[in-house]
Amino acid sequence: MVPITGDETPRGSVEALLEGFERYLTAHRNVRLSTRACYARHADAFLTGLAGPDVRVELSRLDAVTVRDHVSVLIAPYAPQTKKLMATSFRGLLRFAWLEGHTSTDLTGAVGPVSAPRGIGPRPRPLSGEEMCLLLDAQDLTTLTGIRDYAVLVVLSRLGLRASEVAGLLLDDLDWEAGTLTARIKGEAVHRLPLPHDVGAAIVGYLSRRPDSYHREIFLKLQGRDEPMTGWAVSALVARATARAGLGTVHAHRLRHTTARAVLEAGGGMGEVGELLGHRSEEVTRMYASLDLVALRGLARPWPVSAGACHD
C-alpha cells in the first residue's frame, strides 16, 4: 500500500495522521464527505487524547489494553448512538494505522462492540444563553483569527449546521439578495436556510478581512496555508474557543443542540426544529430535541383546571 500521509507536516503529528486518515477514507474506503468529516472528528479526539506536549502520537507503542482503556474513557459521556459511531471511527483509524505501518498489529479488535438502542441515553447539554454570550464575547475581534472564529461560532449556533457542513460552505452559497444560505447537509442533500442579520453581519465582517484566495470555500485556514477548513478543523476551533471562554471543552455538535433549544424556547415546535436542522423524519427530531426535563418544564403550559374541579 502506498503511504498516503501528507508530507507537509511531521509524520507522527496529530495533524499529519488526520490528513492521512482522511485520504485513506477517500481513496480506499470511498467514504462520502459528510461521513468522512464525522470519522475525522472522532479520530481527532482519539489522537489528541494520546498526544504528548509536542502534539505527536507514538502509535507504535499502542497495545490492545491501552486502546480499550482509552476508548472506554472517550465514549463514556455520550449517548449509545454516538458511542457506536465513535467506535466505528476508532476502528477505521486503527485499521489505517496498521496498513500505513504506524502499528505493528491490527488493533481494531481492541475496540469492543457497542450496542446502541435507539432513543436511550443522555443528550448533549445545549449551551445556555449566558454561556453563548461568554463564548462569543471571548473571541478577539481585533485579529483575523478571532473574526473568523466568531463568524464560525455564530453560523454553527444560529443555523444548526454540522462542523463539516460549515467547512463545506462556498461563497456561491450566499444569496444576499434573497437573504438565504445554501448548505450541503448529511446525505448529500441541499438545504436552503434563511440568513439572519447577525449571521450575515458576522460573515461579512470575516470576508472583508479574508486574504485573497482561489478557493471558493468561505472559511479558510489561517496558519500560513491557503487551504479551506475541514470539518475536524472547525470542531477543533470550537473546542479551543470554548476552553478560552472558560466553558471547558465543548464539541461543535453541542452548538447544534443549542440551536434546537433556542427554537423551542422561542416558542417553536418540533416541526420547526426539524426543518431548520434538515431532519428527514420526525423520529430523528424527537430524539434530537429530547432536552432534559428540567429545561422542558419551563416550556410547558399549565394544565387547564375546569371550573367544577374539586380542590383540597
Give me the pLDDT at residue 200, please.
94
The reported pTM is 0.57
Angle at which helices 33-50 and 14-27 pack, to 10 degrees? 150
Residue 103 near residue 60 (C-beta atoms within 8 A): yes
CA atoms of 89 and 35, how far apart (whole Å): 10
Q: What residues contact residue 59 under an 8 Å CB cut-off, 6+ apart?
A: 12, 17, 50, 97, 102, 103
Q: Please tell me which residue in 253, 254, 257, 261 is annotated as part of the active site.
A: 253
**Which residue in the list 42, 186, 191, 261 is annotated as catalytic?**
186
Active site annotation includes 253: yes
pLDDT digits (tens, 9 = 90+) for 251-286: 777 787 776 766 556 565 555 554 555 545 455 445
pLDDT value of residue 267: 61
pLDDT of residue 152: 95
Res 118: pLDDT: 52
Hey, what CATH class is 129-296 in?
mainly alpha
Cβ(220)–Cβ(170) below 8 Å: no
In angstroms, the Cα distances linking 249 to 45, 117, 225, 242 are 11, 27, 26, 6
32 is catalytic: no
Successive 10-residue mean pLDDT values, the chain, 312 residues: 40 82 85 80 88 77 90 84 88 92 91 65 71 92 95 90 88 93 74 88 95 91 82 87 88 75 59 52 51 46 48 45
- Supply the DSSP symbol for 181: E
Domain ranges of the chain: 14-110, 129-296
Task: Please count the other Cβ atoms lying within 10 Å of the Cβ belonging to residue 189.
Answer: 11
Q: CA angle at residue 195 from 286 to 162, to 5 degrees?
A: 45
Out of 95, 256, 257, 261, the active site residue is: 256
Is residue 288 among the annotated active site residues?
yes
Q: What is the pLDDT of residue 176?
A: 93
Smallest CA-to-CA distance from 231 within 156, 171, 287, 140 is with 156
H-helix or E-strand containing 14? Answer: helix 14-27
Render pLDDT for 82-123 as a digit per residue (tens, 0 to 9).
Answer: 888 899 999 999 999 999 999 999 999 999 887 655 544 456
Mean pLDDT value across the chain: 78
* Residue 23 appears among annotated catalytic residues: no
pLDDT of residue 1: 37
Fold of 14-110: DNA polymerase; domain 1 (1.10.150)
Residue pair 74/86 in contact by the 8 Å Cβ criterion = yes
Q: DSSP E strands: which ranges in the chain?
A: 174-175, 180-185, 189-194
Residue for cell digits 432513543? 119
Q: Residue 230 to residues 15, 218, 239: CA-CA distances in angstroms?
A: 11, 11, 14
The yes-or-no answer on residue 311 being catalytic is: no
Residue 270, pLDDT score: 58
pLDDT of residue 129: 83
Check if the beta carbon of residue 16 is closer than 8 Å to that of residue 50.
no
